[in-house]
Amino acid sequence: MSDVFENVMDLAKRRGFIWQTSECYGAVAGFIDYGPLGAMMKRRIEDIWRNFYVIEEGYYEIECPTIAQEAVFIASGHVKGFSDKMCQCPHCKEYLRADHVADGGGISGASTMTNEALAAAIAACKCPACEEVLGTVEVYNFNLMFATTIGPGSQRIGYLRPETAQGMFVDFARLLRFYRDTLPFGAVQIGKSYRNEISPRQGMIRLREFTQAEAEIFVHPDKKTHPKFARYADYTMPLLTYVHQQNGEEAVTMSMRVAVDKGVIANEYVAYYVALTHDLLVTIGVKPDRLRFRQHLPDERAHYATDCWDAEVFSQRFGWVETVGIADRTDYDLNAHAKQSGTPMTVFIQYTEPRKENRRRIIPNMSVLGKQYRQKAKAVFAALEHATPTADGADVVVDGETIHIPANLFEVRDEVVDIRGEEIVPHVIEPSYGIDRMCYAVLEQAYDEDTVDGEKRTVLRFSPRVAPVQVAVFPLMTRDGLDTIADEITHTLKRKGILAEYDDSGAIGRRYRRQDEIGTPFAITVDYETKETRTVTVRDRDSMKQVRIGIDTLPQTISALVNGDMKFTSLPAHQNL
Ligand code: GAP
């Protein structure tokens, strides 16, 4: 098979999955359109994601604007630090990611080099665009956010969000109330994010506008035990830890329970979402042998994150591609937004039993001090509350002036008080999925070619759950009432919510090939026997085997097949008809 990337992208364009946007004006790199079949496939992948996170985990979905005011991204650190290292080729003038040039030239550690060191390191590398040796270049930081202005007058700066996550952080107080002030809780968002990538030359992998599906799960900092950990405790997969990477070793297969117990994964929450992500990616059609979980190296991890794992999918063209990131972001984001906005982002955690605490109260003699200090009296009382009294009295500072209050003008009372709970800043566990990269992985891994009746067959071996068209319906002939029956079957299936496509044009073999190429998992054929027995044939795309089943059972059978509740091989009497 020739280059899979070329084949997949050619098929994707030809059959209406994906193409470059505004082609008639000359495409702009980093932007794509999902065509009719691509948009449907993407929607199905997003719905599977929703099933895992919204239905099963119970984290409700929210929808925030894609533009936010500057303060949000000052707090998040994006205004200051969300940049890539860029240089310009002195020969062809192409802008390049300096760290990618270094990677391509076999230079490691680019992400931790200063700009000057990186410039020196890549001087001997070739420009990936024109292939000339770069020579002397300047490396500088290029902020990846798209800036805009809000409203007339261009005074209010806004940015297109570079991740959906910030929406969930700034909504924290409202979400907390929605979840009745109780931890843990989570909110998710599926939507567009924007990054002004320097040189997006990798098809759907590096886009300037892309879709993220992110969950932000707010947990008690001292209770990172997932309440449903048992679900994935025995889930086993190869884990490539940072230690393995540092020692040049292979990934080691272990269960989530063992990974947490051995301290390989920081806590149950991270381990739970590593396993759930594996489960989800396999569900959409990623092959387990082309999927690995790689822990971030200490110098790769955000300074505030305690642990971070990437789900990487192997692409024949691009190698291992980061597709999902799962991080324990600690309390960094909530603290940053609380500081920037002045809004507390804490949860009151009530103790099971109130705690007794000794408290010292200082009670001023109001009448004497009131008369003595008049307008300043209120400030004096307030300062006295926090003073450290001696036998002689207490010194307080009011408006920069130190005032001595004699001991006979206040009373010190030691009391035992009930403390009912405390305000804490939750930690955030974040699984962050790139939907476009998932779509590409599904397309690339589904692409296959085989030979049928001496002819090449191109087939997308999609999981029935992500296939855009779920079933095709063919009348063997467009006469003798076969077409009417096929049309009725199509209508009945559509009314059950199944995307069925009626096709009566050309030889039956050609019709099968057309559906195979877009990954339709099942095809129903109405033939002359149908009129006698009210049965049709159902053909399985992958094995090309057929079974004959009754028209009346079609809706539930096809439903079960496309939802994955039933396998084709478990249908009775499946045979090569
Ligand atoms: N909130 C965390 C966050 O945004 P990230 O690793 O920058 O983390 C998460 O992004 C996922 O989004 C990535 O694993 C990737 O799948 C996807 N992604 C990031 N940048 C992308 C781009 N330029 N084009 C397509 N997908 C991208």
> Has residue 315 got a pLDDT over 90?
yes
Residue nearest to atom 21 of ligand 1 (CA): 206
Of residues 1 and 330, which shows the higher confidence score? 330
The reply to whether 192 falls in a domain is: yes
104 by Cβ neighbours in 10 Å (0-12 / 13-18 / 19+) ranks as middle
Range with lowest mean pLDDT among 2-6, 473-477, 511-515, 527-531:
2-6
Q: What is the pLDDT of residues 179-209, one digit of tens each?
A: 999 999 999 999 999 999 998 988 899 999 9
The 10 Å Cβ neighbour count of residue 99 is 23
Distance 211 CA to ligand 1 centre (A): 9
Q: Which atom of ligand 1 is nearest to the CA of 164?
A: 1
Residue nearest to atom 16 of ligand 1 (CA): 434
Distance 164 CA to ligand 1 centre (A): 10
The reply to whether 243 falls in a domain is: yes
User: In this structure, are 66 and 8 located in the same domain?
Assistant: yes
Ligand 1 is surrounded, with C-beta below 6 A, by 163, 165, 195, 197, 206-207, 210, 212, 214, 322-325, 430, 432, 434, 436-437
In order of 82, 252, 442, 499, the CA distances from 204 in angstroms are: 21, 30, 12, 26
Domain boundary among 123, 143, 163: 143
> Has residue 568 got a pLDDT over 90?
yes
User: In this structure, are 364 and 510 located in the same domain?
Assistant: no
Mean of pLDDT values over 119-136: 94
**Angle CA(294)–CA(295)–CA(299) in degrees, nearest 5?**
125
Mean of pLDDT values over 108-124: 91
User: What is the pLDDT, as a whole number, of residue 2?
Assistant: 61
Q: Where are the alpha helices (DSSP H) in 426-507?
A: 435-446, 482-495
Distance 195 CA to ligand 1 centre (A): 9
User: In this structure, are 216 and 295 located in the same domain?
Assistant: yes
User: With left for phi above 0 and alpha for psi between -120 and 50, is residue 480 left, alpha or beta?
Assistant: left
CATH number at residue 570: 3.40.50.800
User: What is the pLDDT, as a whole number, of residue 348?
Assistant: 97
User: In this structure, are 120 and 150 located in the same domain?
Assistant: no
pLDDT above 90 as % of the chain: 91
The reply to whether 477 falls in a domain is: yes
Q: Which atom of ligand 1 is nearest to the CA of 212?
A: 12
Distance 130 CA to ligand 1 centre (A): 28
Distance 189 CA to ligand 1 centre (A): 14
Q: State the Cα–Cα distance between residues 368 and 373, nearest whole angstrom.
A: 9
Mean of pLDDT values over 304-331: 96
> Has residue 362 got a pLDDT over 70?
yes
The reply to whether 324 falls in a domain is: yes
Pocket test for ligand 1, best of 214, 322, 330, 439 (most atoms within 8 A of CB): 322
The reply to whether 445 falls in a domain is: no
Distance 207 CA to ligand 1 centre (A): 9
553 by Cβ neighbours in 10 Å (0-12 / 13-18 / 19+) ranks as exposed
316 by Cβ neighbours in 10 Å (0-12 / 13-18 / 19+) ranks as middle
Distance 203 CA to ligand 1 centre (A): 14
The reply to whether 441 falls in a domain is: no
Distance 433 CA to ligand 1 centre (A): 7
Domain boundary among 424, 451, 480: 424
Q: Which atom of ligand 1 is nearest to the CA of 311?
A: 14
Distance 561 CA to ligand 1 centre (A): 33
Q: State the Cα–Cα distance between residues 409 and 407, nearest whole angstrom.
A: 5
Q: State the Cα–Cα distance between residues 479 and 483, nearest whole angstrom.
A: 6
Distance 290 CA to ligand 1 centre (A): 19
Distance 192 CA to ligand 1 centre (A): 11
User: What is the pLDDT, as a whole number, of residue 577?
Assistant: 45
Domain boundary among 366, 392, 424: 424
Q: What is the pLDDT of residues 46-105, one digit of tens each?
A: 999 999 999 999 999 999 999 999 999 999 999 999 999 999 999 999 999 999 999 989
Prior bond to 468 cis, omega within 30? no
The reply to whether 40 falls in a domain is: yes
Q: φ and ψ at 393, to 5 degrees? A: 145, -155
Model confidence at 302, in pLDDT bands (50, 70, 90)?
confident
Residue nearest to atom 20 of ligand 1 (CA): 206
Pocket test for ligand 1, best of 66, 97, 163 (most atoms within 8 A of CB): 163
CATH number at residue 245: 3.30.930.10
User: In this structure, are 277 and 224 located in the same domain?
Assistant: yes
User: In this structure, are 75 and 91 located in the same domain?
Assistant: no
**Angle CA(145)–CA(146)–CA(152) in degrees, nearest 5?**
135
Long-range pairs of 118-122 with CB within 8 A, sequence gap ≥ 24: 118/85, 119/87, 122/87, 122/98
Strands 319-330 and 307-315: antiparallel
User: In this structure, are 39 and 151 located in the same domain?
Assistant: yes
User: What is the pLDDT, as a whole number, of residue 458?
Assistant: 97
User: In this structure, are 516 and 571 located in the same domain?
Assistant: yes
> Has residue 297 got a pLDDT over 80?
yes
Overall size of the chain counted in residues = 577
Residue nearest to atom 19 of ligand 1 (CA): 434
Mean of pLDDT values over 112-132: 93
Q: Count structural domains, the chain.
A: 4
Residue nearest to atom 7 of ligand 1 (CA): 163
Residue type, 67: I
Write b or e for each residue in 525-534: b if 16 or more Cβ atoms lie within 10 A of its Cβ, otherwise e: bbbeebeeee
DSSP codes joined into one string, 252-286: EEEEHHHHHHTTSSS-HHHHHHHHHHHHHHHHHT-
Mean of pLDDT values over 225-241: 97
User: What is the pLDDT, as a whole number, of residue 3?
Assistant: 86
Residue nearest to atom 6 of ligand 1 (CA): 325
Model confidence at 1, in pLDDT bands (50, 70, 90)?
low
Range of the domain at 100: 84-143
DSSP codes joined into one string, 475-493: ESSSSTTHHHHHHHHHHHH
Tokens of 556: 């539930």
Nearest to 12 by CA among 27, 32, 29: 32
Q: What integer best gives the mean pLDDT of the chain?
A: 95
Nearest to 237 by CA among 269, 276, 266: 276
Distance 141 CA to ligand 1 centre (A): 19
User: In this structure, are 186 and 121 located in the same domain?
Assistant: no
The reply to whether 69 falls in a domain is: yes
User: What is the pLDDT, as a whole number, of residue 574?
Assistant: 46
Q: What is the pLDDT of residues 321-342, one digit of tens each?
A: 999 999 999 999 999 999 999 9
Q: Which atom of ligand 1 is nearest to the CA of 435?
A: 16
Q: State the Cα–Cα distance between residues 9 and 113, nearest whole angstrom.
A: 36
Residue nearest to atom 9 of ligand 1 (CA): 432
Residue nearest to atom 18 of ligand 1 (CA): 434
Q: Are residues 251 and 239 in contact, defined by beta-carbon separation less than 8 angstroms?
A: yes
Range with lowest mean pLDDT among 257-261, 410-414, 444-448:
410-414
Q: Which atom of ligand 1 is nearest to the CA of 208?
A: 23
User: In this structure, are 96 and 152 located in the same domain?
Assistant: no
Model confidence at 152, in pLDDT bands (50, 70, 90)?
confident
Range with lowest mean pLDDT among 109-123, 215-229, 259-273, 520-534:
109-123
> Has residue 347 got a pLDDT over 70?
yes
In order of 82, 163, 477, the CA distances from 214 in angstroms are: 18, 9, 49
Q: State the Cα–Cα distance between residues 11 and 447, nearest whole angstrom.
A: 9
Alpha carbon dihedral 177, 183, 189, 195, in 10-degree steps, equals: 110
User: In this structure, are 369 and 382 located in the same domain?
Assistant: yes
User: What is the pLDDT, as a whole number, of residue 576?
Assistant: 44
User: In this structure, are 270 and 326 located in the same domain?
Assistant: yes
